Amino acid sequence: MTLELFMVFVASTIRLSAPLLLAASGEYVSERAGIVNMSLEGMMLMGAFGGAVATAFTGSPYLGLAGALVAVLPIALLQSVLTNTLRANQVVTGLGINILVLGLTTLGYREIFGSRSREMIAGFDPISPPILGDLPLVGTVFYQAGLLYFAILMVALIAFVVSRTGLGIMLKAAGDNPHVTAISGTPVMAIRHGAVFFTGAMAALGGAFLSIVDIHTFTEGMTRGAGYLAIVAVIFGNWRIGRVMGACLLFGAATALQFQLPAMGIQLPNALLIMLPYVLALLAVAGLVGRQTAPRALSVPFWR
Amino acid sequence: MSISAYMFSDKRLAGFNGVLARLAVPLAAVLAAFTIGLIAIIAMGVPLGDAVGAFMRGALGSPYAISASLNRAVALGLVGIGFIIAQRAGLTNVGGEGQIAVGGMIATALCLVPGMDELPAGLAFILPLLGGAVAGGLWAGIAGVLKVRAGTNEVISTLLLSFIATWLVYWSVQSENLLRQPMTNSATLPESLPIPAPTQVPLLTGSYASPVTWGLPITIVIAIFVAIMLGRSIFGFRLKATGLNPVAAARAGMPVNKLLVGALVFAGLLGGLAGALMLQGEQYSLKSGFSSGYGFDGLVVGLLARGSVTGVIAGALLFGFMRSGGISMEMAAGVPSALVGIMQGLIVVMIAGAAYYLDRSATR
Amino acid sequence: MIMRSGGASSSGAPLANNEASLPKLELTDIGRDFGSFTALDGIDIAFRTGEVHCLLGENGAGKSTLCNLIFGVHQPTRGFMTLNGAPYAPNGPHAALAQKVAMVHQHFSLIDELTTVDNLLLGRKFGLVDRKAEAAKILALAEEFGLDIKPHAVVGDLSVGQRQRIEIVKCLMQRPEVLILDEPTAVLLPDEIEALLKVCADVAARGSAVVLVTHKLAEIRKIADEVSVLRAGRIVARSTRPAEDMNDLTTAMIGRSGTGGAFGVASLPPRAPHARSRMVREALQIDGLSFFDQTGARRLDKVTLTVDQGEIIGLAGVEGNGQSELGSILAGLDHPSEGRWFVGGKELTHAKPRAITAAGAGIIPEDRHKVGAVNAMTLADNLYLNQTKSLTRWGLIDRKRQTEGATSLMKQFDVRAQGPAAPFSSLSGGNQQKAVLARELMTPNLRFLLAMNPTRGLDIGAIEAVYRSIREAADKGIGVLLISSELDELLAVADRISVIYRGSIVGTRMASYDNRAAIGSLMSGTATQ
């Protein structure tokens, strides 16, 4: 593999992992607070849809991002009320919401775009950051969408808040043992609601990355399981934000390889590469890859 | 004490309310979802009569339409029955999709084994059906073993196994070394060879105008068997005790771990059988994504049923006809079939949201 | 009138605030009802700064309720409290904490996955935390009271004693004026208990009123400045010289002298000493059984015990001395770390529950809701929970036979319910217990019956019925091991009583009221063989 080809591979790995990273870092926050957001897929899809619609109507991808955030609000509210207030089964609720959002976005897309479904919407151009972007060879790696840099910033911010602040301690405590946490005077319910909304926002941006940044249009069910893959990244990342990011990059690399390997003349079934993340995650939850330490109260509803 | 006070005194209310609540919530959810669907149709400016007419024609309008709906209901029903078996042991099997995929894939492989089509007495299609079922059972059994050995949450493992299974199907039809038909030219589709006629599940009527397969009576027999098993057999009794209180079940000498694995294997068997039936009774060649949506719809059917086999059958028929009707509505009246998806999603969300309160009133 | 008994505390700090006339916290005529049940009544008590005040009493005597009233978890139904002479009526723990009243609960409020520091910071601030500085502050506080804690260790990796110290530090961070400890020593190892008692003395010496709940007399002798004994929700004895009044305190704690009339066992006829033949086999034989829990703490220490056929052996002991662990092992839910045990000569050391039942052992577990029955199933299902196979033909349960069998069992054991199909959860506690008893007594080839606290929470009628059945079983030649913390019940029902203390059998006496005081002192660890 030549160096240039390798740099192309690295750049596309990062680009392909960006939507995963956005969604997974949001899901990480939810799961640390004790909630499995199985509706991540639906939240991403809603974000992709809202982003595409808002961009198409305003012509501004920035307003598109705002549109993604607005569109996901009712979905996040539904998820949060069902799982926190009504203590519904988090997995079932999530799957239901995913079915619902797939229907809603497909229907909405047909109704809104209808005839002009092939039109491209405005998007973000990649930016080349100063100094880094001018480096020889590796400079191309940094030629990425601004939203990606935002994602990395968010990961750093989440890592900081979780490890260095009182809020972070409360978040982890709420996911491990909500009842004891509540005794300490921590507003567990508010934290859990907040976590779901934060996840919704991050997932929506991940979805918008797909529609606004990547392919400049919306297609039916365009997330194609990216939300589930982001959840898998959190599991495989063993609920540690650094490892979750690593998992996203690994999954991005697996996808990038599907395009790169044939170019390099290597014949490897690409199904194997697509399957890899799920197999790794299964081995991880089976306890075959180190010790899994999921938040103890993960998916357990809390009430006083 | 007035008569009404007597009628609604605690004890009477408990029994009456229990049955009512079990039926009322799913019924109300279905009604609400249909109402929202109708409103959406009106909002889209489609004449209601056209849409409803197209829906009815697609679901019930011809022997072919009814047959297609029934075949769909068979697959959903099998997955749904599997779901409630696992549920009885306190497990949530969300892996129906993968169990279908593995079942269909293994059934195809068996159908294409040289000599399989020459077997006498129906074995040509029975063996692959059984093979598919066993494969689905083993696939789900992985989640069961992980549960009792490593404490892995079965929701996560069955979901992951689903993804792996669907990509295994994709792989098997991409590779000529596996199940892909020989590539004669660049237009050769990534799918398996059609399975030989003797390995196909026979049609009940023998006519392709109403292609209901023997899967329907098989499923009815299974449904009756499972209803008796859950309601009257010692296996069902032990599953129930394990699901409700594993410690007390263990103290009473029940093999709790075996029951947990057994419940998932049983669920997987039915999922695998559903996949094999879809393949050998309808599609005849394996394609990537052939199981798409069936597993999750089946899960929803199982969920709606709240533990009752009769409920599964009702739900499977409802969803089978809804999906068929939806497709026809899209083609004939221009109402996207996604509307059916919205209605299904709403039903799930409403029932899931009400579940806690239902369970609480049921145990009081 | 307040006198610290000689040599009780090693702290030797001067009792500066020993002004007997001015209690820190005073309760006047306090009562608390839960529904129709009176948990506390007519409680007058005063806690003074600089003193360790012990609340002594059996389980269910009302000690925890009293603590919860002071800490604001519950509110009194009657009476009033004053703190520093001003009215004190906390409407919740937060109100209590705000007034510098803190409590160390029996169950720790710690998050296992977080470090010590994070646990102590939880809920206190949202923003940036400087763990180094916080750890230094916490360590300084801990050292002041001689508490050894590890600030950066993950709580889940720590021993019970270490966790308790974190709990105590959490309270001390509030600089409490009143510190309540609810049975803090129940979970500790002997040397940890010593250390904790010293901490209590130190906290008191530094200007707090310490309320220590316990049912261990040995601790009281070491530490208490004053003792109040609770029984059935009332204060039945007080002492300011506990070391000298040990025997009276014991008597007060385990009940009035005389026959145990108040326990529903008075109407039982005296049990004729059963005729022992030389040929009887042991129903239960326990040989050198030891058990270590997950943290490695020794919960059972070489327990050796024999129950002959037709004999009722009572196992007395204050709760938490290894009875639960022994019960769990005999039920087949745990396996011993050392030693062996047999029923009717058949070794069951590593047997599963099914083999234990097959060997003819009936088990009435401590917790009938978690272990003894499936609440959400019917009475009939629960009556046959471990014998369903006997009703089964070709894999199907014969519901008709089940209903008939259940109906006759209900009659035989006087289980009152709407019918065999009634949900188990709809039965009263007494009827639930009678149903469990009926099932276990119907065990085929029954030779041995384990009954753990079989009458807890039952009314007098049910208690009598339960014991009648158990005695009838013994009269038929079944060996019974009856584990209870109610000494009077054991005295009335058993033939002999063994006492378990800190995981070992410390003595055996004939079940006679004459031996009550001796057994009581064995239970409290004040006497040895």
A285 within 8 A of A293, measured Cβ to Cβ? no
C334 touching A (Cβ < 8 Å): no
Backbone angles phi and psi of B122, in degrees to 5: 80, -5
The ranges assigned to domains in chain A are 3-114+161-285
Q: Which of B234, B245, B250 is the closest to C353 by Cβ?
A: B250
Q: List all residues 6 or more positions away from A56 whose beta carbon is below 8 Å from its beta carbon.
A: A113, A119, A121
- Written as one letter, the residue type at A52 is A
How far is Cα C59 from Cα C213, in angstroms, rounded to an integer? Answer: 11
Best interface-test mutation with A: which of B159, B166, B175, B322 has the largest number of A CBs within 10 A? B159
User: Residues 153-192, chain C: which have Cβ within 8 Å of A?
Assistant: none
B358 touching C (Cβ < 8 Å): no
- Please give the residue that has the higher pLDDT: either B158 or A131: B158
How far is Cα B134 from Cα B112, in angstroms, rounded to an integer? Answer: 17
How far is Cα C104 from Cα C471, in angstroms, rounded to an integer? Answer: 42
How far is Cα C323 from Cα A183, in angstroms, rounded to an integer? Answer: 31
pLDDT at C329: 94
Cross-chain Cβ contact B248/C381 below 8 Å: no
Shortest distance, CA C146 to any CA of chain B (angstroms): 41
Q: Per-residue pLDDT averaged across A80-94, rounded?
A: 89
- Please give the residue that has the higher pLDDT: either C17 or A224: A224
Cα–Cα distance list, A90 to A30, A196, C519 (Å): 12, 12, 54
Shortest distance, CA A169 to any CA of chain B (angstroms): 25
Q: Give me the tens of pLDDT residue by residue for chain B, a chain 364 residues long.
A: 333 333 333 333 344 455 566 677 788 888 999 999 999 888 888 888 888 888 888 888 888 889 989 999 999 999 999 999 999 999 989 899 999 999 999 999 998 888 778 788 788 889 999 999 999 999 999 999 999 988 888 888 998 999 999 999 998 888 777 777 777 777 777 888 888 888 888 888 878 888 889 999 999 999 999 999 999 999 999 999 999 999 999 999 999 999 999 999 999 999 999 999 999 998 888 888 888 888 888 988 888 788 889 989 999 998 888 888 888 888 888 888 888 889 989 988 998 888 777 666 544 3
User: Residues 1-40, chain B: which have Cβ within 8 Å of C?
Assistant: 11
Q: List all residues 6 or more positions away from C62 whose beta carbon is below 8 Å from its beta carbon.
A: C39, C40, C230, C232, C233, C234
CA-based nearest residue to C319, from C228, C214, C190, C237: C214
Q: Which of B234, B245, B253 is the closest to C397 by Cβ?
A: B234
Most confident of A132-146, B40-54, C182-196: B40-54
Residue B84 neighbours by CB distance under 10 Å: 23
How far is Cα A111 from Cα B260, in angstroms, rounded to an integer? Answer: 47
pLDDT at A188: 92
Backbone angles phi and psi of A38, in degrees to 5: -65, -15
Percentage of chain C beyond pLDDT 70 is: 88
pLDDT at C280: 55
Shortest distance, CA C522 to any CA of chain A (angstroms): 37
How far is Cα B223 from Cα B237, in angstroms, rounded to an integer? Answer: 17
Shortest distance, CA C332 to any CA of chain B (angstroms): 7
pLDDT at B276: 96
Q: Per-residue pLDDT averaged across A252-275, rounded?
A: 80
A4-60 pLDDT per residue, tens: 788 888 998 999 999 999 999 999 999 999 999 999 999 999 999 999 999 999 989
C386 touching B (Cβ < 8 Å): yes
- Please give the residue that has the higher pLDDT: either C28 or C368: C28
Which residue of B lies nearest to C370 if distances are taken between CA atoms? B248
Q: Which residues of chain A neighbour C113 with C-beta distances below 8 Å?
A: 172, 176-177, 293, 295-296
Q: List all residues 6 or more positions away from A186 whose beta carbon is below 8 Å from its beta carbon.
A: A170, A173, A174, C122, C123
A290 pLDDT tier (thresholds 50, 70, 90): low
- Please give the residue that has the higher pLDDT: either C295 or A4: A4
pLDDT at A51: 94
How far is Cα B160 from Cα A124, in angstroms, rounded to an integer? Answer: 34
C211-235 pLDDT per residue, tens: 998 877 777 888 888 999 888 888 8
C421 touching B (Cβ < 8 Å): no
B176 within 8 A of B188, measured Cβ to Cβ? no
pLDDT at B80: 96
DSSP string, B100-154: HHHHHHHHHHHHTSTTGGG-STTHHHHHHHHHHHHHHHHHHHHHHHHHHHH---H
Mean pLDDT, chain A, as a whole number? 88
C364-412 pLDDT per residue, tens: 998 888 899 998 899 999 999 988 888 888 889 988 999 999 999 999 8
C66-114 pLDDT per residue, tens: 999 999 888 999 999 999 889 999 988 888 988 999 999 878 889 988 9
SS3 C293: coil
Q: Which domains does chain C have, with CATH numbers?
A: 25-108+176-254 (3.40.50.300), 277-374+446-523 (3.40.50.300)
C339-351 pLDDT per residue, tens: 999 998 889 999 9
Cross-chain Cβ contact C397/B232 below 8 Å: yes
Backbone angles phi and psi of C450, in degrees to 5: -100, 125
Cα–Cα distance list, C444 to C38, C352, C378, C381, C436 (Å): 42, 17, 22, 17, 15
Q: Which residues of chain A neighbour C94 with C-beta distances below 8 Å?
A: 185
Q: Which residues of chain B neighbour C385 with C-beta distances below 8 Å?
A: 241, 248, 252
How far is Cα B188 from Cα B350, in angstroms, rounded to an integer? Answer: 45
pLDDT at C480 over 60: yes
pLDDT at C1: 30
Classify residue B60 by burial, with Cβ atoms within 10 Å: 0-12, 13-18, 19+. Answer: middle
How far is Cα C190 from Cα C511, in angstroms, rounded to an integer? Answer: 29
pLDDT at C4 over 60: no
Q: Which residues of chain C neighbour A186 with C-beta distances below 8 Å?
A: 122-123
B85 within 8 A of B298, measured Cβ to Cβ? no
pLDDT at A118: 65
B151: left (phi over 0), alpha (psi -120 to 50) or beta: left
C331 touching B (Cβ < 8 Å): yes
B62 within 8 A of B205, measured Cβ to Cβ? no
Shortest distance, CA C282 to any CA of chain B (angstroms): 24
pLDDT at C195: 84
pLDDT at A111: 82
Cα–Cα distance list, C486 to B304, C229, C513 (Å): 50, 16, 13
Q: Per-residue pLDDT averaged across C488-513, rounded?
A: 88
- Written as one letter, the residue type at B168 is L
Pairing assessment for the beta strands C78-83 and C226-231 based on DSSP bridges: unpaired
Residue C136 neighbours by CB distance under 10 Å: 12
Q: Which of A165, A180, A183 is the closest to C129 by Cβ?
A: A165
Interface ipTM: 0.87
How far is Cα A108 from Cα A121, in angstroms, rounded to an integer? Answer: 16
Cα–Cα distance list, B29 to A39, B23, B289, B341, B349 (Å): 20, 10, 30, 14, 9
pTM of the model: 0.81
Cross-chain Cβ contact B164/A279 below 8 Å: yes
A173 pLDDT tier (thresholds 50, 70, 90): very high
Which residue of B lies nearest to C423 if distances are taken between CA atoms? B363
B228 touching C (Cβ < 8 Å): yes
Q: A257-274 burial by CB neighbour count: b if 16+ within 10 A, else e?
A: bbebbeeeeeeebbbbbb
A304 pLDDT tier (thresholds 50, 70, 90): low
Q: Which residues of chain A neighbour C114 with C-beta distances below 8 Å?
A: 169, 172-173, 176
How far is Cα C433 from Cα C415, in angstroms, rounded to an integer? Answer: 9
Cα–Cα distance list, B13 to B2, B26, C503, C511 (Å): 15, 19, 50, 50
Cα–Cα distance list, C64 to A109, C61, C103, C256, C457 (Å): 63, 8, 11, 22, 16
Q: How many CA atoms within 13 Å lie on the side-chain side of B133?
A: 20
pLDDT at B323: 83
Mean pLDDT, chain C, as a whole number? 83
Pairing assessment for the beta strands C78-83 and C25-34 based on DSSP bridges: antiparallel
Shortest distance, CA C142 to any CA of chain A (angstroms): 20
Touching B (3+ Cβ pairs <8 A), the chains are A, C
Classify residue C1 by burial, with Cβ atoms within 10 Å: 0-12, 13-18, 19+. Answer: exposed
Cross-chain Cβ contact B345/A96 below 8 Å: yes
pLDDT at C383: 93
C529 pLDDT tier (thresholds 50, 70, 90): very low
Cα Rg for chain A, rounded, in angstroms? Answer: 19
Percentage of chain A beyond pLDDT 70 is: 96
How far is Cα B284 from Cα B273, in angstroms, rounded to an integer? Answer: 15
CATH fold, domain B30-181+188-363, is ABC transporter involved in vitamin B12 uptake, BtuC (1.10.3470)
CA-based nearest residue to A275, from A265, A267, A283, A287: A283
